[in-house]
Amino acid sequence: MKVWMFLGGVVVLAIGGGLAWAWFAHRADSCAAPASRFGVYCPATPAPYDGYVRTSTYVDLPGGRRLAVDVLRPTRRGQVEARPLPVLYEHTIYNRAMTVVRDGTVTDAAMLGLTPASRTMLKLMSLTSGGEVVVDQARMRPWVGRLLRQGYVVVAADASGTGASFGTPPTSFEAFGHEAALMIDWITAQPWSDGRVGMYGQSFTAMIAVAASAQGRPALKAVYGASTALDAYRAVGYRGGIRDTGFNTPYVLLTSQLDGLATPVTGAEGALDAARKQRRGEGFSQRVAELGRTRAFLDDPPTADGLTWPGMSLYPLLPRIKAGRTPIYLEAGWNDIFTRDTLLLYANLQGPRRVTVRPWRHRLLTKADVDLDPGVEAARWFDRWVRGRDTGVDREPGVHLALMDFDGFCAWTPRSAWEVGGARQDLFLAAGGELSTGRAAASGIVRKAADLSATTGRDSRWNGVIGAGVYPDLAANDRKGVVFTTAPLEIPLEVIGHPTLRIAVSAQARDDAEIVALLEDVAPDGRVRYVSEGALRASHRAPAVAPYNALGLPFHDHRRTALQPLRSGEAVTLSLDLQPIAYRFAKGHRVRLALQTADADNLAITAPPYVLGVHWGGGDPARLSLPIGAATPGACSGRR
């Protein structure tokens, strides 16, 4: 049992299947007076603890499952707090703790992204810790360490069949949530627990936390989750019926390295090796990869391991999640993988709820940056709903959006709700590549040979687990597709919500077509910035009734039995939505719709040579519909 003091050192930030390294030195809370508002929290009581102790154990569950569990308890001057305390819990498939130096050898796992300097630093750290460096929950996320200091116990468990745990991995979020609920039962029975539990996580672990709220455990008082998928097939499996390789390929590559970073339970000699042997080298990510490779339609049968797209989604649990009314705080980023789904999940919740959308990509959502320290919001949420303190978080607007512009993060804009109702500006496609508020007087067609080399680049939102998520200038890529652009804006245009597109297309010499629709901001000097995107395979255009509140957005069937092939040269109408945004187009800039037939680094599209036809005008004219937000007072002042 080792006592950790909150001193300078290295922190590893969890990124939902990958890691990012950053230097972290603890500094005392600097609060002149108690305060609590969005992004600011100075509790009335100073942090009473200065360190923590980590212990580990195995917990036996039904069905032969043995879960490896870490318990982090706060200490004061080296003494463990004996009184029962509230507990924060993560149920994870990404290792409850990571052993980054084992027997004096620094891991070679590419997912860590270690630099020569960080490898040297880890080697030096291992010299004073018995040849090992273990990165636990307090080191993975600095804000978790701060909450330890404020008097929470932190518990983390490897889900069955992952990390150092035994058993078969669950095959659905229903099963993951049930397993987490059994662990909540165990937690509340421990002498160091006061019976109140909050769950946290990012990406898959956040989805487990939300799924646990459907299990009817009164002890679960609140959830704080970053980046959640409501509908896995549509979000990241087959976007618009097209397989998403930008996310799935690097995700499987990175998470396949998790076994090599797993941390043994102290005193359980040989147990980690036995758990790995039981899995026969096949981790949970390989099972998910099989689902993505072989199940291209929603009516395909389960995989050999029993995985299905609905099972790997949260929406089947919504009736019980809503009935439980567990307070849930969601976080997302405008360049995240699950931006759309996080906002849709928020719209489907009942009871206390909140959502904050930051400027960032997937890997940065648990990290403090110029916009926000997410740990501040997590502390306010947990103190309110787990401890019962009046932090005021429940009386504030439920939605906080980072307003973006061409140069990046601009300002925070609060909203009372997330909805699609309200003013919209329709921009109609016209001859000469024009995009305007007036309907075209005539009709016509633009034909262009499909260019399957078109791409938004590898460093996209879909590769945000390891990439920087910074899109290149898309001007050159635009020349590979069909573009429609407005005249320079006479006044700024603030767009907040879900853009939608309705367009007629045809294909010559092919019975299908793929449309990748990019919403872009064109600067006066010709630079082109990515703003949003949507995609749809034409044969998947059949509408369907959504099994959840999809906010009236276009919703497609994606069953094999619902396929609608094209006839060569025949025009069909496609309706699709683009990723939601809060974006300010500046005066003098132009709004552009770029229609591509591929996104080579992010979507799996193969096709013989064919010609795409984009139709404009007529009785049902092609149009881009933008949700117009009320102007944010003083937003982006001094920036054009």
Contact (CB, 8 A) for 434 and 587: no
**Dist. CA 202–CA 221, nearest whole Å:** 18
Of 345, 341, 381, nearest in space to 362 by CA: 341
Helix (H) or strand (E) holding 609: none
pLDDT at position 1: 54
- The percentage of the chain sitting over the pLDDT mark of 90, rounded to a whole number, equals 81
**Residue 7: predicted pLDDT:** 34
Query: Over the stretch 568-617, which tens digit does the pLDDT of each residue have?
Result: 999 999 999 999 999 999 999 999 999 999 999 999 999 999 999 999 99
Distance (Å, rounded) from C-alpha 468 to C-alpha 465? 8
Beta bridge partners of residue 244, listed in sequence order: 603
Q: E-strand spans in 256-407? A: 328-335, 353-361, 399-405
User: Does the pLDDT at position 630 exceed 50?
Assistant: yes
Q: How confident is the model at residue 249 (pLDDT cuts 50, 70, 90)?
A: confident
Q: For the chain, what percent of residues have pLDDT higher than 70?
A: 94
Q: Quick one: pLDDT at residue 355?
A: 98
Asked if residue 386 lies in contact with residue 424, where contact means CB atoms within 8 angstroms, the answer is no
Tokens of 158: 């490897």
At residue 363 the predicted structure's pLDDT band, cuts being 50, 70 and 90, is confident
CA distance 155 to 97: 11
Average pLDDT in the 223-231 region?
A: 98
Q: Assess whether pLDDT exceeds 60 at residue 342.
A: yes
For position 388, what pLDDT does the model report?
Answer: 97
Q: Which two tokens stand for residue 454?
A: 């078109």
Partners of 616 in the β-ladder: 444
| Block residue for tokens 């635009």 | 478
State how far the Cα of 422 lies from the Cα of 523, in Å rounded to an integer. Answer: 28
**DSSP-based three-state secondary structure for 618:** coil
The pLDDT of residue 637 is: 64
**598 contacts: CB under 8 Å, gap ≥ 6:** 450, 451, 452, 453, 454, 455, 514, 516, 605
Residue that the structure tokens 């990124």 belong to: 15
The residues, ordered by sequence, that sit 6+ positions from 471 with a Cβ below 8 Å of its Cβ are 456, 457, 459, 460, 529, 530
- Report pLDDT for 466: 74
335 in Cβ contact with 531 (< 8 Å)? no
Vertex 213, ends 208 and 219: CA angle to 5°? 115
Mean pLDDT of 179-185: 98
Give the mean model confidence (pLDDT) for residues 146-166.
97
As a whole number of angstroms, the distance between CA 500 and CA 575 comes to 7
| Nearest alpha carbon to residue 18 among 285, 328, 340, 314 | 285
Q: How confident is the model at residue 44 (pLDDT cuts 50, 70, 90)?
A: confident
Count Cβ neighbours within 10 Å for each residue of 180-198 and write b for 16 or more, e otherwise: bbbbbebbbeeebbbebbb
Q: For 220-242, give the secondary structure using H, E and C.
A: EEEEEEECCCCCHHHHHHEECCE
Return phi, psi of residue 16, to 5°.
65, 55
The per-residue pLDDT for range 370-384, each reduced to its tens digit, is 899 999 999 999 999
| pLDDT higher than threshold 60 for residue 515 | yes
What's the pLDDT tens digit per position in 282-299? 788 889 999 999 999 999
What's the CA gap between 605 and 514, in Å, rounded? Answer: 8
Binned at pLDDT 50, 70 and 90, residue 508 comes out as: very high
User: Tens of pLDDT along 452-476?
Assistant: 999 999 999 998 777 777 899 999 9
Q: Name residues whose C-beta falls within 8 Å of residue 94's C-beta, 6 or more positions apart in sequence.
A: 14, 16, 17, 162, 204, 205, 255, 258
CATH 3.40.50.1820 domain extents, the chain: 2-97+136-396
CATH architecture of 2-97+136-396: 3-Layer(aba) Sandwich (3.40)
Q: First vs last Cα of the chain: how many Å apart?
A: 57
Comparing CA positions, the residue from 578, 576, 574, 501 lying closest to residue 538 is: 574
CATH superfamily of the domain spanning 424-627: Galactose-binding domain-like (2.60.120.260)
Tokens at 445, concatenated: 């067609």
Q: Mean pLDDT across the stretch 52-66?
A: 95
pLDDT of amino acid 27? 40
pLDDT in tens, 288-338: 999 999 999 999 999 999 999 999 999 999 999 999 999 999 999 999 999
For residue 640, pLDDT beyond 60: no
Return residue ranges of the chain for CATH 2.60.120.260: 424-627
For residues 11 and 23, is the Cβ–Cβ distance under 8 A? yes
Q: What is the DSSP letter of 567?
A: P
Strands 434-436 and 623-627: unpaired
pLDDT digits (tens, 9 = 90+) for 1-43: 555 543 333 333 333 333 433 333 334 445 777 899 999 999 8
CA atoms within 13 A on the CB side of 76: 9
Tokens at 30, concatenated: 């600097």
Whole-angstrom distance, CA of residue 600 vs CA of residue 172: 31
pLDDT at site 22 = 37
Cα four-point dihedral sign 202, 605, 556, 615: positive
Report how far Cα 487 is from the mean position of its chain's Cα atoms.
Answer: 35
Residues sharing a CB contact under 8 Å with residue 525, sequence separation 6 or more, in sequence order: none
The whole-number average pLDDT for the span 436-443 is: 91
Element (H, E) at 279: helix 271-279
Q: How many CB atoms lie within 10 A of CB 149?
A: 22
- For residue 118, what is the DSSP state? H
In single-letter form, the type of residue at position 340 comes to: R
